[in-house]
Homo-oligomer: A and B are copies of this chain.
Amino acid sequence: MQPFTLTASDGRARAGRLTTGHGTIRTPCFMPVGTKATVKSVTPDELVGIGAQVILANTYHLTLRPGTAYIGERGGLHAFMRWPRPILTDSGGFQVFSLRHTLDLDDDGVTFRSVYDGDQVRFTPESVAQAQVDLGSDICMVLDECPPGDADQATVDAATRRTHDWAARARAAHLELRQGAGWTCTGTPQLQFGIVQGGTSADLRRESARTLVGIGFDGYAIGGLSVGEPPEVTMPMVRAACDELPVDAARYFMGIGDPLGILDVIDAGVDMFDCVLPTRMGRTAGASVPVDVHPRARINLRNRVHMDDDGPILAGCRCPACAGGYSRAYLRHLLLQQEVLGLRLVSLHNLLVLLDLTARARRAISAGSWAEWYPSERARWEPRD
Contacts and interface: CB of A to CB of B under 8 A. Distances in A.
A333 B42 contact: no
Interface string A292-317: 00000000000000011010000000
A36 B327 contact: no
Nearest to A41: B340
Contacts of A330: 37, 74, 80-82
A253 to B, nearest CB: 27
B333 A65 contact: yes
B341 A41 contact: yes
Contacts of A75: 310
Contacts of A66: 307, 329, 333, 336
A159 to B, nearest CB: 31
A103 interface: no
B340 A344 contact: yes
A344 B42 CA distance: 9
A36 B337 contact: yes
A38 interface: yes
Chain A interface, DSSP helix/strand/loop, else mixed: loop
A301 to B, nearest CB: 13
A36 B339 contact: yes
Given A82-B325, A324-B82, A37 B343 contact: no
Q: How many copies does the complex hold?
A: 2
A40 interface: yes
Contact of A40 (B74, B308, B324, B339): B339
A334 interface: yes
Contacts of A41: 339-341, 344
Contacts of A341: 38, 40-43
Contact of A37 (B65, B80, B333): B333
A90 to B, nearest CB: 18
A37 B333 CA distance: 9
A336 B36 CA distance: 11
A74 B332 CA distance: 13
A80 B308 CA distance: 11
A183 interface: no
Contacts of A308: 73
Interface of A: 36-38, 40-43, 45, 65-66, 73-75, 80-82, 307-308, 310, 320, 324-327, 329-330, 333-334, 336-337, 339-341, 343-344
Closest 10 CB pairs of A and B: A41-B340, A66-B333, A38-B341, A38-B339, A36-B337, A340-B340, A82-B325, A80-B330, A74-B329, A38-B334
